[in-house]
Amino acid sequence: NAGVTQTPKFQVLKTGQSMTLQCAQDMNHNSMYWYRQDPGMGLRLIYYSASEGTTDKGEVPNGYNVSRLNKREFSLRLESAAPSQTSVYFCASSVGLAESYEQYFGPGTRLTVT
Amino acid sequence: GNSVTQMEGPVTLSEEAFLTINCTYTATGYPSLFWYVQYPGEGLQLLLKATKADDKGSNKGFEATYRKETTSFHLEKGSVQVSDSAVYFCALKKAAGNKLTFGGGTRVLVKP
């Protein structure tokens, strides 16, 4: 079991470029999440997907889009990157929303926007 | 709204020292409380949890007690090891909600 995998591990973008962060889980979980982690601010929820075919905004969705491609995969897209989006991005999954207290996290993607 | 406040780090300790990381929360009702740990280069993982007042969560030698009267959930370990060096996050989940609210994290460095 790989758990939650994320690609890439590191990425440098120029302002205005676009990219997609990939996430996959092999635990047959229904719910998936995208967070960003900034120093001193903990993790902030960007978007989540309660189940395949649904997505909802979290705390900080502006500038991002998501796709729940299937039960396993949940991608995060930056259409026009800005320096304020420099952060570490984590994908997570849980059995379901009711079990969202126990989330399993991927190793993260460190994104720098210059 | 909901919020979680943790002491700022870094906290630097020697091996076998006693560790306390303070966590207080603001939320209506009776949230569930959690501690997550992030080891270097890894994602977060659930360390322990408490779902009602006076519950004590424990795991890997760490403990935290849910104190409703002081809205706190402080993390403690009696004798830390170098392998406990990590960032620790306090979090809450409201009973009727389905999302976690995280504190800012506290970096702990244990020196041999």
Q: Which residues from A are below 8 Å from B44, CB to CB?
A: 43, 90, 92, 103, 105
The DSSP bridge partners found for residue B33 are B50, B92
Q: Confirm or reject contact between A108 and chain B (CB < 8 A).
A: yes
Residues 9-28 of A with CB under 8 A from B: none
Q: What is the pLDDT of residue B42?
A: 85
**pLDDT confidence tier of residue B99, bands split at 50, 70 and 90:** confident
Token readout for B53 is: 């007042």
Question: Nearest CB to B41: which of A4, A58, A107?
Answer: A107
**Is the pLDDT assigned to residue A63 strictly greater than 90?**
yes
Non-local CB neighbours of A74 within 8 Å, separated by 6+ positions = A23, A24, A32, A33, A34, A49, A66, A67, A68, A91, A93
How close A79 gets to chain B, by Cα (Å)?
A: 25
Segment B85-94, tens digit of pLDDT: 999 999 999 8
Chain B positions touching A90 (Cβ under 8 A) are 43-44
pLDDT of B76 over the 90 cut: yes
pLDDT of residue A1: 65
Label the pairing between strands A109-113 and A10-13.
parallel
Q: What is the DSSP string of A24-69?
A: EE-S--SEEEEEEEETTTEEEEEEEESSTT--EE-S--TTEEEEE-
Q: What is the mean pLDDT of residues B82-109?
A: 90
Indicate whether B68 pLDDT > 70. yes
Q: Do B49 and A106 touch (CB under 8 A)?
A: no
Question: What pLDDT digit, counting tens, does each position of B12-67 carry?
Answer: 999 999 999 999 999 988 899 999 999 988 888 999 999 999 999 999 999 999 99
Contact state of B93 with A48 under an 8 Å Cβ cutoff: no
Give the gap in angstroms from C-alpha A45 to the nearest C-alpha of chain B: 8
Are A55 and A49 a contacting pair, CB within 8 Å? Answer: yes
Which residue from A53, A21, A56 is spatially nearest to A36, judged by alpha carbons?
A21
Residue in A106, A3, A104, A93 with CA at minimum distance from that of residue A50? A93
| Residue B96 pLDDT greater than 90, yes or no | no
Q: Where are the beta strands (DSSP E) in B15-103?
A: 19-21, 23-26, 32-38, 44-50, 56-59, 62-65, 75-77, 86-93, 101-102
Q: Looking at residue B111, what is its pLDDT?
A: 96
The more confidently predicted of residues A18 and A100 is A18
Task: Dump pLDDT digits (tens) for A16-36.
Answer: 999 999 999 999 999 999 999
CA distance B81 to chain A (A): 23
The secondary structure of residue A98, as a DSSP letter, is G
Chain A residue with the nearest C-alpha to that of B89? A42
Our CA-based measurement puts residue B78 at a distance from the nearest CA of chain A, in whole angstroms, of 25
Cβ of B43 within 8 Å of Cβ of A92? The answer is: yes
